[in-house]
A = this chain, B = another copy of it.
Amino acid sequence: MNTTHPAATVAGWIDADVRGDGSTEIRDAAPLDKATDTDLAYAGEKTTPSALSASQAAAVVVPKSLAEQVEATDTPVLLVVEEDPQTAFLACLERIRPRRQRRAVGVSPQAFVSDSAVIGVGTNVHPTAHVMEDVVVGENCEIMPGAYVGPGCRIGDDVVVHPYAVLYENVVVGDRVTIHATAVVGADGFGYRLEQGRHVRLPHHGGVRIENDAEIGASTTIDRGMIADTVVGEGTKLDNLVMVAHNCELGKHNVIVGQVGFAGSVTTGDYVVCAGHVGVADHVHLGTGCVLGSKAGVNKDVPSGETWIGVPAQPVQEAMRIVMASKKIPEMRKQIRTLEKRLDAQEATGDTGAAAA
């Protein structure tokens, strides 16, 4: 199990002031509300003094602003930092509960590596991984057990391909890319032509290009292009179970959340954000910095910087106006009935008046 560290030692890692007993032993870490008396936790700007006092944690990393609102005596030991307490806490977490480090195991004799493949220095190819003909893999990569790198693929440096991720032929991957387990990159695009009542597959001779620092989630699928490549831009992050269809060209630093689907030939600018379950129709362009709310169904171009929601998607203000108004419909129907009654009465009196004349 984990070793223990005195609070004072932990404070030293992050250059924090200790309020309380620096000899308190810290064994592990936990969220503030779940922490036990051997755990380190952290409190952000939003944490209330009472939540801090109520925590059972052995010690808590806190910002100065919060520390000043409480007496150290009625709290866990406080490790007071100037800057962002989350960053400081995560630095401690790395040392208290380290992730396993990669070991240099080289190319396993139980991996399946083509004679024509080139493997860079410091790259591990684990048992049952497949590296097919004409593949080039850069340096310090992890080709995990069962990862399949198809013929002609080009992979940069410091790339991790997790178990059973599948790269079909001629996929190009940049540096520092992570491809999670069972992701599928480069399957044939979903393109057919109807001939004599049968769907005949259109050949797909394009590939897929994944640029530097992109991340591809578990079970996400990215189809190859028909003529040109499908592209995932630099630093763009795809969550799990995302669908990127043939010929899409995603820009840089997009954040695409779980189960989003892009139809064919969608293009995006940079810093686009799509929340969960968003769907985008084919050939639509998402402008730089636009944000699509969860479950939005986008069937036309979205201008840069705008936030759209709904099905069909529209600017959030309009959509909300309609949603709010819709709640009034039952009331409106009552109002109309009342008006009708009042007019009936009016017309009656009107007639009387006429008769009287």
- Asked if A46 lies at the interface with its beta carbon under 8 angstroms from chain B, I say no
Whether A97 lies near B205 (C-beta < 8 A) is: yes
CB distance from A333 to the nearest CB of B (A): 6
A-B contact pairs, 8 of them (CB 8 A): A90-B202, A93-B205, A145-B148, A166-B181, A180-B187, A182-B184, A192-B255, A219-B241
Question: Which chain B residue shows the least CB distance to A152?
Answer: B100
- Asked if A127 lies at the interface with its beta carbon under 8 angstroms from chain B, I say yes
CA A253 to CA B311, docked complex, whole Å = 28
Contact of A261 among B192, B276, B332, B339 (CB under 8 A): B276
Whether B330 lies near A321 (C-beta < 8 A) is: yes
List of B residues within 8 angstroms of A277 by Cβ: 261, 277, 279, 297
Whether A145 lies near B127 (C-beta < 8 A) is: no
Residue among A31, A181, A255 with the most chain B CB within 10 A?
A181
Contact of A295 among B34, B151, B311 (CB under 8 A): B311
The A310-351 residues at the B interface (CB cut-off 8 A) are 310-312, 321-323, 325-330, 332-333, 335-336, 339-340, 342-343, 346-347, 349-350
Q: A130-B128, A182-B164, A219-B221 given as contacts; is B228 within 8 A of A31 (CB)? A: yes
List of B residues within 8 angstroms of A241 by Cβ: 219, 221, 241, 243, 259, 261
CA A342 to CA B339, docked complex, whole Å = 10
CA A180 to CA B228, docked complex, whole Å = 21
Q: A213-B198, A218-B184 given as contacts; is B325 within 8 A of A237 (CB)? A: no
Number of copies: 3
Q: A326-B326, A339-B336 given as contacts; is B94 within 8 A of A112 (CB)? A: no
Whether A99 lies near B146 (C-beta < 8 A) is: no
Contact of A326 among B169, B245, B322 (CB under 8 A): B322
CA A127 to CA B203, docked complex, whole Å = 27
Whether A340 lies near B339 (C-beta < 8 A) is: yes
- Asked if A257 lies at the interface with its beta carbon under 8 angstroms from chain B, I say yes
CA A350 to CA B345, docked complex, whole Å = 11
Mask for A184-211, Cβ within 8 A of B = 1, else 0? 1001101010000111011101000000
CB distance from A67 to the nearest CB of B (A): 21
CB distance from A88 to the nearest CB of B (A): 13
Q: A148-B164, A336-B339 given as contacts; is B99 within 8 A of A205 (CB)? A: yes
CB distance from A246 to the nearest CB of B (A): 10
- Asked if A168 lies at the interface with its beta carbon under 8 angstroms from chain B, I say yes
CA A346 to CA B348, docked complex, whole Å = 11
CA A75 to CA B128, docked complex, whole Å = 52
Question: Which chain B residue shows the least CB distance to A265?
Answer: B31
- Asked if A54 lies at the interface with its beta carbon under 8 angstroms from chain B, I say no
Mask for A243-255, Cβ within 8 A of B = 1, else 0? 1010000000101
- Asked if A227 lies at the interface with its beta carbon under 8 angstroms from chain B, I say yes
